[in-house]
Structure 1
């Protein structure tokens, strides 16, 4: 009997040891599994919020940018972490996302073959990448495949990209339908995209469109052609205006469209934040070979809600200059109002009007940057001093003293428009005041205010020394009232 009890005790102890051992192993496995999941999820989340390098997209009609200045050290850290995760075995639900994120980094760093291999693996595995990335996966594979001859597919469009006559390799070339009113800042999956080869050449091939056409497939139609580049690649260069603004793609034909960048124009003065105290301002710049004439533009650096300089829309000046200098009367620039600008932010209270729309191209107490464009005798823009990226210089090219700034002017700069109108009414009937009141009356001082042409016309007709622009604005206000052109 005693031996039977001993046998049961030994068996029970062994069972307890097995259970405890299994529990320990299960706990260790679970911790490893959870650690793997946590690492994969962290890598995926980090990649989703990563400060990826900025790309500047440049078309003849506009420029845009995506990403930001980025953090190279953080990008290298994320790359190393993702490479470790991808090299480890595992069936984590985040594995596909990690692999896709690593491929994105390879492409950003122009390691095309590495990125393509990962994307091909994902496509072969038919792994869910998640959300929009499914379409983006196919778009990126199509873009990378177009680097080489595409198995006898017809070439619909080809061309080259050059920087000062030298081939620009590894540049994204994007097709945007000429009829498209908008632009998606990250084009992959939305537009046909190709990559230039070592000789700076690109090609778009005809795809099998027996099924439903995808946005990233080149199709017959009229397109605007642009490029996507890192800021440091395009720094110091400006797009030469193409021979034609768009290109037509048609089956059975091979179109050609070349894009070239020329060195930017060097500015001489003012460039060092000079204070312009006199009644005139002189601009000087370096000559451009082959330029027949030059035109200037000026933008105000207006403070945002945080007090940082945020550039406004630049105001082109109509005069043509055949030399490398220009001079303007300050009063003349003050009397020119640029197109009325309304900026609506993310909230109802985040609203602002363009100060140059009310106070003129150059006004007292303002900070400004300027640019010059060079043109051929036929009117083709050869280059510019302006950068394509959207950031602004840390300090202005010039600024003006606050002498002559009225209470109404200050309230406009503070974005207190109702108070500005009341202050201008108290100030009397000077031409500057009447122009400011007319601008705000004509177009409105809130996002949903359509304006009052009759009130604007009453202000405009009181101006004692009307300018050419005043006369044009009067004609516009009368047309708004009557629906017809009026003298």
Structure 2
């Protein structure tokens, strides 16, 4: 079973990337039965011994078949780098491999995989066995043995075959990854291929590797031409019925990476190295380190990615021949490596790698912090909840998060931010009446919506959990409470509690019976009968807004806006004030926008987040307050690692009369990681503007000012008409990109 958490694209509720302990309790049998004794005959070690006896007692074809079934088939089909846990800034997931229930030691697997490549049939299993054997050697820092294994495998095969070529590609890629350019070049030059139609995949992969080699050697123009022509040839030759393949994706991504580097004149490769260790100095050997560019961070790690490596016995890792650009590190760990520890990485943590650079990027795991109260299924019936936790050295403040469970899944919402002590008392209404999102079933329709996700913290029969994140004065995450606690001595207090302060209404029960339309009517009746029924009004708004998201054509006027205004009068909350602020921003109703942004600031328990600050800056610009807008956007960009609103800031600076050269410097300082996988997008757009301006400066300046005026005045339809009618130009591209900033 694989459970994947996507962070970047979750808009309403965030599926808890920090709820790993809780889900693991439900996923890993050894934890679900913690404290129960396990019969000796079914122990992992006994199962291993029995399997080894079974393998050693077989011979001939039955023996090879057993190796295929018990070893090769239990390995990953999709990646040689198979771990229990994958942790990164943008996505995290964990795998419980139910097929490979018997854990052989690396030495066990090496013995039988080596036997298979020496004696087994040359088929699809042969390549898989070779890759798995190489991985096992790598996990023991036996790189020379891994190379010899591939040479041995190649020696059994005619050089004029696809299998031999695939093994040569693996050897060439490994040589390039360890920085041995000469060996990589020699291996690739010797690799030949018959001109068969079924060689399309191998041709594409070969040219992908050759282009990487050319860039590493400094021949960036040749590398670009090769990958561009190879992609065209590959698309012409591949089966037209196939979707995008891994090989095609490799070529597309490499072309984009090279072009992005060329656009900013970074045409020499770089290196990155570091050490993975715990904060007590203990190195973590044989862990996976994945250096992932912007095009890869939103999906699971695959063998098609160029930068994958294992730490050595001292936790060291090094990548060679890295194309300049923006990357994120992702870790692959086994449960025993992460047990009781966390990697305090944050969404939007990027690494910029420049040409010719030897970048250092150490990774340090921190111990999980402990929760004190409420824990271990505590039942709360008071009007307030007292949260307390372990104080963390160096922590300037903490964020308190709460999680709601709904049909074996959970979603997390921040309850309170910037708590300066290691305890806080929260009125229960703050949990009840926060605006939030919802989840739904696999059908993805209104009728499959999950009731508990709508009820949030108001269901007294549901179980809830909480977590803490500790930050330093600069806003960097130090550690958190949620993570993997697998050893009985490390489990500690479990973060579960119940809220029994209220009872379910009849409308609540209708909703729990999965009748959302009838529930809407029931909540309407409750509110009509008692206009001070805060719960009925809150649930009515929540349900109506949730239902609107499933409508094919959205209503021009949001019918919930008057209801939210009443909610804010009855119970002013940051969430609903934010909702109205954004609504009136989109309507360009600046009078009401200003009113509700002021309300938002008054009820927020901390300074505005980077998103709300940026929205306010653009609102100020639209109202002609340019200087205030510039200051607000500058602060927002410093707080947002993804620099979502950099396009708006660049346009605002140009509107204020700043030169293209100085604005280009700002673009380089704040790469955009929020949308397209190209942090240098705005830098490139401004470079094109500079070229266009050089042809007719006065004409360009006049046209730029006019188009920015249209944008400031909210004349987006006029801008779109102009873009439809004008020829392709740098200004057209820039204004089009600006309209997408939101």
TM over 0.5: yes
Which of the numbers 44, 50, 60 marks the counterpart of 2:89? 60
Q: Please tell me whether the aligned partners of residues 100 and 118 of structure 1 are also in contact (alpha carbons under 8 angstroms).
A: yes
What does residue 174 of structure 1 align with?
Answer: 290
Q: Please tell me whether the aligned partners of residues 82 and 98 of structure 1 are also in contact (alpha carbons under 8 angstroms).
A: no
Deviation at 1:370, TM superposition (A): 0.8
Tell me, yes or no, if structure 1 residue 190 matches structure 2 residue 298: no
Counterparts of 1:195 and 1:436, CA distance in 2 = 50
1:291-330 deviation digits (Å, cap 9, x = unpaired): 1221210111221xxxxx3222x11133322222121111
What does residue 425 of structure 1 align with?
Answer: 524
1:416-475 deviation digits (Å, cap 9, x = unpaired): 422322222232242222222223323436655575552111322333513233222223
Q: Please tell me whether the aligned partners of residues 330 and 362 of structure 1 are also in contact (alpha carbons under 8 angstroms).
A: no
CA pair 316-117 structure 1, distance change in 2 beyond 3 A: farther
Q: Please tell me whether the aligned partners of residues 113 and 130 of structure 2 are also in contact (alpha carbons under 8 angstroms).
A: no
Q: How does 1:240-319 map to 2 (within 5 A)?
A: 240-241=344-345, 245-303=349-407, 309-312=408-411, 314-319=412-417
Which of the numbers 324, 328, 340 marks the counterpart of 1:220? 324
Q: Please tell me whether the aligned partners of residues 264 and 386 of structure 1 are also in contact (alpha carbons under 8 angstroms).
A: yes
Counterparts of 1:257 and 1:176, CA distance in 2 = 14
What does residue 233 of structure 2 align with?
Answer: none
Q: Please tell me whether the aligned partners of residues 364 and 402 of structure 1 are also in contact (alpha carbons under 8 angstroms).
A: yes
Tell me, yes or no, if structure 1 residue 442 matches structure 2 residue 545: yes
Q: How does 1:117-128 map to 2 (within 5 A)?
A: 117-122=148-153, 125=157, 128=162
CA pair 353-120 structure 1, distance change in 2 beyond 3 A: farther
Which of the numbers 463, 473, 476 marks the counterpart of 2:579? 473
SS in 2 for 1:320: strand
Structure 2 gap ranges (5+): 1-58, 185-215, 218-268, 596-742
SS in 2 for 1:472: helix
Tell me, yes or no, if structure 1 residue 200 matches structure 2 residue 296: no
Which of the numbers 162, 172, 192 marks the counterpart of 2:277? 162
Q: Please tell me whether the aligned partners of residues 150 and 167 of structure 2 are also in contact (alpha carbons under 8 angstroms).
A: no
What does residue 507 of structure 2 align with?
Answer: 408
What does residue 442 of structure 2 align with?
Answer: 345
Deviation at 1:221, TM superposition (A): 0.7
Between Structure 1 and Structure 2, the one with more helix by share is 2
SS in 2 for 1:284: strand
What does residue 321 of structure 1 align with?
Answer: 419
1:201-235 deviation digits (Å, cap 9, x = unpaired): 221111xxxxxxxxxxx311111122211122112
Tell me, yes or no, if structure 1 residue 100 matches structure 2 residue 136: no
What does residue 48 of structure 2 align with?
Answer: none
Task: Kindly report the root-mean-square deviation, in angstroms, between the aligned alpha carbons of the 2 structures.
Answer: 4.5
Deviation at 1:143, TM superposition (A): 8.5
Between Structure 1 and Structure 2, the one with more strand by share is 1
Q: Please tell me whether the aligned partners of residues 446 and 550 of structure 2 are also in contact (alpha carbons under 8 angstroms).
A: no
Deviation at 1:266, TM superposition (A): 0.9
- Name which of structure 1's ranges 370-379 and 394-403 shifts more when overlaid on structure 2: 394-403
What does residue 121 of structure 2 align with?
Answer: 91
Deviation at 1:347, TM superposition (A): 7.0
Q: Please tell me whether the aligned partners of residues 333 and 361 of structure 1 are also in contact (alpha carbons under 8 angstroms).
A: yes
Counterparts of 2:464 and 2:62, CA distance in 1 = 54
Counterparts of 1:50 and 1:221, CA distance in 2 = 26
Counterparts of 1:188 and 1:204, CA distance in 2 = 16
Larger Rg: 1
Q: Please tell me whether the aligned partners of residues 194 and 202 of structure 1 are also in contact (alpha carbons under 8 angstroms).
A: yes
Counterparts of 1:107 and 1:354, CA distance in 2 = 50
- Name which of structure 1's ranges 56-65 and 113-122 shifts more when overlaid on structure 2: 113-122
- Name which of structure 1's ranges 80-89 and 326-335 shifts more when overlaid on structure 2: 80-89
Q: How does 1:76-155 map to 2 (within 5 A)?
A: 79=109, 82-83=112-113, 86=116, 89-97=119-127, 99-100=129-130, 102-103=132-133, 106=136, 110=140, 112-113=142-143, 117-122=148-153, 125=157, 128=162, 137=170, 141=174, 145=178
Q: Please tell me whether the aligned partners of residues 408 and 424 of structure 1 are also in contact (alpha carbons under 8 angstroms).
A: yes
Counterparts of 1:269 and 1:173, CA distance in 2 = 36
Number of residue pairs matched? 434
Counterparts of 1:379 and 1:135, CA distance in 2 = 47
CA pair 129-456 structure 1, distance change in 2 beyond 3 A: farther
Deviation at 1:273, TM superposition (A): 0.9
Normalising to structure 2: TM-score of the pair? Answer: 0.50
What does residue 339 of structure 2 align with?
Answer: 235
SS in 2 for 1:365: coil
SS in 2 for 1:425: helix
SS in 1 for 2:102: helix
